[in-house]
Structure 1
């Protein structure tokens, strides 16, 4: 016999303590009585109480000693070695927003964690576990561990998010881990069928909660102020009055109420919001089984113009295209006057470069001479049609194609291609030493791009990339998304302040680090500081995912799956439960004997 917790055997010290108690002399006091007749009858009993006498046979003492010994052995968790069948587990926990629903006691997430902790705690020794968190970015937390305490701690520390689950990626991780571990996949979630044809055991927590949600929030500038639009969707009980309250800079601005049937949606508009507002929030009342999707947040971006300097001999095409962009304040200079320039958000050099590049601002180079930004090939004739690439992230430009007569192929390890002709990159863009930079390897006059209907669209989207505004501005994102910040060219330090008051530095280094701590909704702030210590703050909202999450009704059908393949291992078979049953039996007998004697 072996012991998992040998320190429990310290309980055997109770055995001599019990014996010592039976040997102790009981204290007494003198008392006057009218007769000794009856007291003589009690002499044999009093003899039994004399100290340090030889122990008599006392069944109660033996039962108490047995109970103490059995309890000590049970605390030691004894086991005997033997062969046993063990199933390994790949455990997956759904951390999406719908798991916060309170149609299950406490919440779906809390109930799932409790059952997962119980499964691990009751699993046989030598059971191997892997643990996967299911979220917008599913992750393998533990792989192939037999340390129960480690996986119990990981499960206990797991927090629910306000986002969704990337089920396709989750399926790939679970399938790969099952192939390595060879065990049973157990998914703790709130719907059936999320894993498709992958054989998994689904532990589902769903009682069809009552829920309504705000699924959209946006604003637009009007003559009388900002117009705010939100959308109310009802997946719960029909005929209930729903109230939407608008908050501007954390103060109540307006309230509207509606009656919605189940499955019905309603667009709600608020007008006259001050243009100088910094933040807008909408909230839905009354509360329901899922409260997180009752609120949405958006920051209000500034609409100031950006100063752009175009240095060119005479490029009327480019000048005309840039002058049509609303938030661009265009300035023009000749190459002879480009020394010592500063104070602009973007510098465009067409066919020229200054001896010293500006310290501030972003850079756009058109047909430049040799430079430190890119490696340039020899100028050559181009026969293949030049095309915009599909995966640039710039909207509405992938269909643009044009002809160019001469160009130089570009190579830049800091950027990605924007325009290709055959196998050559004719334009690249990205961040060079912390500054947004784009380089074109051809003269616009050597192409028919300026005559193409997509020419103004291309430069409009480029200006949006340099200076995000409107849809591209940092105003709101979905929980779980990774955010890449577009910092000002003069920024030397930048950090994010969370709704809880936490602070995370995102720059330096440059380019800024992607921000991934977006699992919780609320207002966040991006703070940028330049060399003089001047700070600018942009508020943005992180909003809950509602699509596929706010409808709390049970989806899919339960499927029967075969259990995971068991393995035979030499493991300890615990005897603790058997000893605890024996202890209960001894205590019952001791109680019965004690009742009879008294």
Structure 2
């Protein structure tokens, strides 16, 4: 047996005060005596009588004390957990996605579940607890722990992660974590269909869900193009909702005037906002009266303006195929058409003169001034940010042109420059595609994509990420790490580039800084988390027997445990009334 409210132990002072009153109060008995002398003697005798004698003769006192002690016992919240929950293996599967922040009975679902988990841990006997955080890659926070304080500490430190819960894969992972042993698996989520539970012998499932869906108005979509924004709002409630939209740029300054709208019950509306200033990123805040706040905000950051790609018709066919494999639309040009190439374009050419003339946004393959040296080397070093996605190390090189003076080396082959960069941003590959096997490797189209993307995103942002999403990002011009800050300037973390970059967990606008270089990015709420769910709480035993409690199982169990004691207190009060009626009050 356990107690749900051990803090109510202070109420024990009430029966203690009654007991103290009986000990300290003087008690008299009416008695007929023949004379004043005999009366005085009897009074002395009464004062000298032991107190226990008075207590034994006072049935009313016993009834009062019993009633008060039972009331104190009830205030402590007695609980009698089921036998299946007292011992053995217990798994806690926790959904920490954003939808767990929806309101249920005036409090976030996540907090309701935290209290239920803490209560479950306290009431369990010799159980071993495994705590699993649901997600794309489920995380075991605690494995087969027997120390309740350790389990309660882990539960108390749980936080919302905002990423999707991927419950199907998490449940399959939990089944494998039991290693075929019998277990009670408690799933804490906002809603789960019975059909989503895997069938596993010896496992009893206990699903704890939200009892009701909140009245929700969500920002389903938000995008900015040039000076206009498009917002799609969805009212999932049964009532008409008044909403106000506020737009701000990456500096937190207001972008345009607030927009007021009335959204009908169960309807969706597209809203266009014009006259926006030129900014790298925007945030949208939806003000309304609903029970789910995470989907009332939306964010967007520019991914950079894509530049057209021009390729010299004299280039090797393998290079042209690599550009097409990278997903770019290629505009071929002849030498006499080079003068008509726009400035805002990325150019691939073997023409050294054109390369030196254009500088930035130009990639040169080979050289015209100088003969290539016959070599048999492999690329041994490539530390430039150009190769943050795929390194050319190991590429075989059979010929190298002379290097440019004053250029920095981005990649070496046998200690000799293989790829160089000019001070104004040009890239020079000192070998024709036919002199290497680079064009036959997967790293070659990634290098071409990285070059074009880098030129296109020089003043742009990194686009949108999901919470905690891992995705390659270009490395900074100086150094090999980015420092991540919120748009308000709060430091978040330091992160690597390439495949080692992971977005922050919380949706919002962020800026990556390295020296004077800045890149904005937006972490957005997944679409699956914009519509919180609800459903019945139920238990499904290992034999397939199902019991539904509608989310009130703990309350009903607590009430059923206290019911016999409540009836007993009522019986004692009735008996006390009867004693008073027959004997009257003692003075």
Give the TM-score taking structure 1 as reference length: 0.59
1:191-590 maps to which residues of 2 (within 5 A)?
191-193=191-193, 196-199=196-199, 200-221=205-226, 226-237=227-238, 239-248=240-249, 249-261=252-264, 264-275=267-278, 277-300=279-302, 315=315, 326=344, 328=346, 334=352, 350=366, 362-363=385-386, 374-376=393-395, 443-444=432-433, 461-466=449-454, 469=457, 473-491=461-479, 494-498=482-486, 502-507=490-495, 513-515=500-502, 517-518=504-505, 520-529=506-515, 535-545=516-526, 547-552=527-532, 554=534, 561-563=540-542
Q: How far did 1:150 drift?
A: 1.9
| In 1, Cα distance between equivalents of 2:345 and 2:381 | 22
Structure 1 residue 316, shift from structure 2 partner: 8.3
- Following the alignment from structure 2 to structure 1, what is the Cα–Cα distance between the partners of residues 41 and 574? 30
Contact 1:211 1:288 in 2 (8 A): yes
8 A contact 2:364–2:428 mirrored in 1: no
Task: Verify the 8 A CA contact 1:212 1:550 in the aligned structure 2.
Answer: no
Distance 1:19 1:109, change over 3 A: closer
SS in 2 for 1:491: coil
Q: RMSD of the alignment, in Å?
A: 6.1
Task: Name which of 32, 38, 41 aligns with 2:39.
Answer: 41
| 3-state DSSP of counterpart to 1:272 | coil
What secondary structure is seen at the aligned counterpart in 1 of 2:213? coil
Aligned mates of 1:173, 1:485 — CA distance in 2: 31
Residue matched to 2:32:
none
Who is 1:122 aligned against?
123
* Whole-angstrom distance in 1 between the partners of 2:362 and 2:194: 48
1:540 deviation in Å? Answer: 2.7
Once the two structures are overlaid, the 10-residue window that deviates more, 356-365 or 209-218, is: 356-365
The C-alpha deviation readout for 1:455-504, integer Å capped at 9, x for no partner, is: x9987633355457399942332234235442312136532224786534
Residue 216 and residue 158 in structure 1: after superposition, are their counterparts in 2 closer, same or farther (change >3 A)?
same
Q: How far apart are 1:142 and its partner, in Å?
A: 1.6
Q: Please tell me whether the aligned partners of residues 464 and 472 of structure 1 are also in contact (alpha carbons under 8 angstroms).
A: no
CA deviations 1:180-220 (Å, max 9, x no partner) are 54212221222232872514332221413221211222222
Encode CA deviations 1:413-438: one digit per residue, 9 max, x unaligned: xx9xxxxxxxxxxxxx9xxxxxxxx9
CA 1:208–1:441 in 2, change beyond 3 Å: closer, same or farther?
farther
Change (3 A) 1:100 1:480: same
Give CA deviations for 1:241-288 in whole Å, capped at 9, x if unaligned. 44433233331513334454555433322222221x243122223231
SS state at 1:130 partner: strand
Structure with the bigger percentage of helix: 2
Aligned residues: 470
Distance 1:262 1:463, change over 3 A: farther
Q: How far apart in 1 are the matches of 2:307 and 2:380?
A: 23
Question: How far does residue 377 in structure 1 lie from its aligned partner after superposition?
Answer: 5.5
The answer on whether the counterparts of 1:211 and 1:550 sit within 8 Å (CA) in structure 2 is no
Structure 1's unaligned 5+ residue stretches are 1-16, 27-36, 366-371, 380-414, 416-428, 430-437, 451-455, 530-534, 566-575
In 2, Cα distance between equivalents of 1:301 and 1:597: 88
Structure 2 spans left out of the alignment, 5+ residues? 1-16, 27-34, 200-204, 321-330, 334-340, 367-371, 399-410, 412-418, 420-426, 545-560
Report the Cα offset of residue 105 of structure 1: 3.2
